[in-house]
């Protein structure tokens, strides 16, 4: 059995100015020199990551992301791409099989991120409306809804 490797890296998951692709590339070299092995792309100011998560990124973003993941791979750095749908995902529409419209959007976006070079997908459900009852549907607890969404996504992406 292989010993698990610790994850050491950088989380671009804050509020504030987005980094440019050249700035992200510069970070990769520094991370490599420091022995870091992971980069999480999840900036809250990236509208397509969070506020307008149902919307796709433009072609220029995809080109930048694809080049970034290739450069990260050369440095031995795993790229994790975050999607944060919790701000307005309607859990009431999540059916028992996980086959609703929002899940399809998440699945397609995650698959495209993987095709563009993301090694892992992070489903982020932080900084969300505290009044879960407005969109809870069949779920009695928020954690139950989050687990159902996560399990549905794992099934769609063939994750364990």
pLDDT of residue 44: 92
Rounded to whole angstroms, the maximal C-alpha distance in the chain is 49
1 has pLDDT over 70:
no
151 has pLDDT over 90:
no
What residue numbers bound the domain in which 137 lies?
Answer: 9-156
Q: Is residue 142 part of a domain?
A: yes
Q: Is the pTM of this model over 0.85?
A: yes
Q: Is residue 144 part of a domain?
A: yes
d(CA 89, CA 126) in angstroms, rounded, equals 12
**pLDDT tens column, 20-37:** 999 999 999 999 999 999
DSSP 3-state assignment of 86? coil
96 has pLDDT over 60:
no
Cβ neighbors of 12 (< 8 A, separation 6 or more) are 19, 24, 39, 40, 41, 42, 43
d(CA 12, CA 10) in angstroms, rounded, equals 6
pLDDT of residue 50: 92
Element (H, E) at 24: helix 21-33
Q: Is residue 112 part of a domain?
A: yes
**139 vs 60, more confident:** 60
The CATH code of the domain that includes 38 is 3.20.20.80
Indicate the pLDDT class of residue 89, thresholds 50, 70 and 90.
confident
Number of domains in the chain: 1
Angle at 124 between CA 80 and CA 104, to 5 degrees: 90
Q: Is residue 76 part of a domain?
A: yes
């Amino acid at each position: 059995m292989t010993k698990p490797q610790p994850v050491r890296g950088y989380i671009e998951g804050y509020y504030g100015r987005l980094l440019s692709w050249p700035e992200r590339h510069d970070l990769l070299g520094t991370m490599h020199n420091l022995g870091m092995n992971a980069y999480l792309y999840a900036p809250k100011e990236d509208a397509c990551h969070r506020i307008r998560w149902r919307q796709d990124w433009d072609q220029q973003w995809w080109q930048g992301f694809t080049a970034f993941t290739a450069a990260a791979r050369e440095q031995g750095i795993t790229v994790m791409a975050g999607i944060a749908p919790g701000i307005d995902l309607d859990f009431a529409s999540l059916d028992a099989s996980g086959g609703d419209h929002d899940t399809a959007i998440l699945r397609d976006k995650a698959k495209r991120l993987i095709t563009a070079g993301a090694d892992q997908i992070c489903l982020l459900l932080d900084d969300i409306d505290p009044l879960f009852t407005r969109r809870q549907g069949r779920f009695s607890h928020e954690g139950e809804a989050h687990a159902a969404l996560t399990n549905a996504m794992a099934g769609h992406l063939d994750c364990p």
